């Protein structure tokens, strides 16, 4: 798939293209995208840069393999591993400390959407994130809207609703 992507995006300018494979594929994918306009990212990381944390990948480990980006706060991490917005903020802070660009996912569940809580949920997640981050580094964070209610449900966010949320996030 990455080989096909490499051919497809060749010559595209003005956007950052990032591929975030599983940890076990980082090195292989790095070799495939070497010399292209595709950047390497990881799907998660631990918030400590040093130390023995069995099974975790530190920000420095990701840098060593060639990552430039890291996805943090994905809904699956929040759901299955009970990651909090505060933990995501710690990870973002650690990522920035080694010049990784955090891609932080924010979004609402179906019941939160249906009860009109979308903006308050997203605001809570963003406030928790940026309360930990030095203001001089905040502009390096990418906030990604991930409507949790659309994952695996067969439902999708229409462009009008998604654009409203993106506008809210930017404000």
Q: pLDDT tens across 5-46, in order?
A: 888 888 888 999 999 999 999 999 999 999 999 999 999 999
pTM over 0.85: yes
Adjacent-strand bridge partners of 41: 69
Task: Kindly list the structural domains of the chain, giving each domain's residue range(s) and its CATH number in brackets, ordered by start.
Answer: 16-170 (3.20.20.70)
Spatial contact of 106 and 126, defined as CB atoms under 8 Å apart: yes
Spatial contact of 110 and 149, defined as CB atoms under 8 Å apart: yes
Instruction: Exactly one of 48, 68, 74, 83 is catalytic; name it.
Output: 74
Share the mean pLDDT of the chain. Answer: 92
**125 is annotated as an active-site residue:** no
Instruction: Exactly one of 87, 119, 146, 171 is catalytic; name it.
Output: 146
pLDDT at residue 170 in the model: 87
What is the C-alpha separation between 44 and 77, in angstroms, rounded? 9
């Amino acid at each position: 798939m990455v080989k096909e992507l490499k051919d497809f995006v060749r010559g595209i300018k003005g956007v950052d293209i990032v591929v975030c494979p599983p940890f076990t594929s980082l090195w292989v994918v790095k070799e495939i995208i070497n010399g292209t306009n595709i950047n390497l990212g990881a799907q998660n990381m631990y918030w400590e840069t040093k130390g023995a944390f069995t099974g975790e990948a530190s920000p420095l480990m990701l840098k060593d393999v060639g990552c430039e980006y890291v996805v943090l706060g994905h809904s699956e991490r929040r759901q299955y591993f009970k990651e909090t917005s505060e933990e995501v903020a710690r990870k973002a802070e650690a990522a920035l400390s080694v010049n990784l660009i955090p891609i932080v996912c924010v979004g609402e569940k179906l019941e939160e959407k249906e009860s009109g809580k979308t903006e308050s949920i997203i605001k809570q997640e963003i406030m928790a994130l940026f309360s930990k981050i030095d203001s001089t580094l905040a502009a390096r964070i990418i906030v990604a809207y991930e409507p949790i209610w659309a994952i695996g449900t067969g439902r999708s966010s229409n462009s009008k609703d998604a654009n409203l949320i993106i506008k809210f996030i930017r404000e």
